[in-house]
Amino acid sequence: MTGIKVHGNTLSTAAARVLATLYEKDLEFELVPIDMRAGEHKTEAFLALNPFGQVQLSKTEIFSSSSQEQLHNT
């Protein structure tokens, strides 16, 4: 288990930017797929992580963010 979890859809360009950054920085992470067509981003479990229900969500033990810019700045 890693300290970084990326909740998102691999077809999402926003998630792709986060994944590219993690690969570029050679960081270990866990991808948690979110099926937006099925409405997984509006479930209670996901909304507990991100009240706005936006995908992608990057979560570490240090911060939780729905914006990939924070990862680019680390």
Residues 6+ apart with CB under 8 A from 12: 55, 56
Q: What CATH number belongs to 5-72?
A: 3.40.30.10
Output the pLDDT for position 42. Answer: 87
Domain ranges in the chain are 5-72
Residue keyed to tokens 């570029």? 24
Report the alpha-carbon distance of residue 31 to residue 28 in Å, rounded: 10
Per-residue pLDDT reduced to its tens digit, 8-48 = 888 888 888 888 999 999 999 998 888 888 988 888 988 88
pTM for this model (two decimals):
0.66
